[in-house]
Amino acid sequence: MNKLPFAVDLNKIEILKQLNTANRDVGELKGILKLLPNPRIILSLINISESKDSSAIENIITSYDEIFKEIVSKVSIDGKPKEVIKYKHAIDYGFDYIKDKGYISTNGLVEIQGLIEPNKGGIRKLPGTVIINDKTNQIVHTPPQSESEIRDLMFNLEVFINENEDYDPLIQMALIHFQFESIHPFYDGNGRTGRILNVLYLVLKDKIQEPVLYLSKYIIEHKDEYYNLLKKCNDDIMHIEEFIMYILKGISQTAKYTVDLILRINQAIKLTKSEMKKRLPEIYSHEIVEHLFSFMYTKNEFFRDDLKIARATATKYLKSLEKEGFIVSEKVGKEVIYKNVQLFNLVKE
């Protein structure tokens, strides 16, 4: 495998034009997040959405319903929602890690992967790993097989991540993503770890202030092209220009999608506040609305703890909210949980 930096001139007009577009779209996303009164609402939902999509790439298919029920209920639905929730925890851990350390290390990536795949942690020591297109079952790439070569390439990648500034961080991110997936340092969880690495790098370089820009949805929609480019670039690194264009287009598309989702959720929050003031003025507070939009699913325990109210008061409020159609109750096992249907439909769309 080639080591970074690659001996390829990426200062091409086509790349720079696409880079300008991507930077504009990312800048708009960053600006919108700064205007939100409570960005944690949006971040929590987008992280769940990313966890679901990223897991789906690895054929871990589940629904928002199952994920949120798993979060709020004591009843386990099945193994797949747990896998998605582990991925979300890995995102949160990675974000805290770079805020604390100020860099991204191989050890940090090992720790993130260990949260995603607890029983398959650590750098590969045994040969036999290949990257396969799960649609065609064709081998796309055979990564390095020896532990010493993997560690050597990961050290080179770590230095590049933290010290190299040859290009704009969006181009650097594309190079880092390609190299990490080509090394494929773990037995399992490489794709999910690599997609977390993408967003952590952008936060590290201050392209975004929160882990909110994820390419999983884009990769799902253009999965064949992703595999084809991974193969082409490993066969001949001169094709890396095509891979960078693919990633830059993905960044633009994802940033626009995320901005649109944020605006729609923000509008739904404003509408809910307005309607609740009219229909339930005796219980209305912006804290109640923010709670309903932070959790999508909630229950008496979460509701009363977050709002710091008594159980009886929480029960009364939840019944009033359900009667007016702001939430819908559902029994899961022995518990009653409540769904914000408006938010659920927005995210599901």
Q: Is the pLDDT of residue 76 over 60?
A: no
Q: Quick one: pLDDT at residue 287?
A: 93
pLDDT at position 40 over 80: no
Nearest Cα neighbor of 195 from 176, 167, 209 is 176
> Is 87:117 a contact under the CB 8 Å cutoff?
no
Q: Where are the beta strands (DSSP E) in 102-235?
A: 131-133, 138-141
Q: Let me know if 224 is exposed, middle or buried by CB neighbors in 10 A (0-12, 13-18, 19+).
A: exposed
Per-residue confidence at 309, pLDDT binned at 50, 70, 90? very high
Tokens at 173, concatenated: 């991110």
Q: Give the residue extent of every domain in the chain.
A: 13-262, 280-348
Instruction: Determine which helix (DSSP H) or strand (DSSP E) holds 176, and give its type and residue range.
Output: helix 169-183
**Residues 229-241 pLDDT 10s:** 999 999 999 999 9
* Predicted pLDDT of residue 73: 67
d(CA 43, CA 31): 14
State residue 306's pLDDT score. Answer: 92
Amino acid at 313: T
Distances (CA, A) of 77 to 35, 63, 149, 339: 37, 11, 41, 17
- What pLDDT is attached to residue 121? 72
Residue 249 has pLDDT above 60, yes or no: yes
Average pLDDT, the chain: 91
pLDDT of 39 reads 78
For 143-190, the pLDDT digits (tens) are: 999 999 999 999 999 999 999 999 999 999 999 999 999 999 999 999
- Amino acid 47 reads N
Q: How confident is the model at residue 85 (pLDDT cuts 50, 70, 90)?
A: confident
Q: Is the pLDDT of residue 77 over 60?
A: no
Residue 236 CB partners (closer than 8 Å, separation 6+): none
The more confidently predicted of residues 130 and 48 is: 130
- The pLDDT-based confidence of 346 (bands split at 50, 70, 90) is confident
Tell me which of 345 and 255 has the higher pLDDT: 255
- pTM of the entire predicted model: 0.91
Q: Is the pLDDT of residue 139 over 60?
A: yes
For residue 100, pLDDT over 60 is answered with yes
Q: What is the pLDDT of residues 44-55, one digit of tens each?
A: 778 888 888 888
Specify the DSSP class assigned to residue 296.
Answer: S
pLDDT above 90 covers what percent of the chain?
71
Taking domain 13-262, whether its CATH number is 3.40.800.20 is answered by: no
Q: Look at domain 280-348 and name its CATH class.
A: mainly alpha
Q: What is the mean pLDDT of residues 257-281?
A: 93
* Cα 142-148-151 angle, rounded to 5 deg: 85
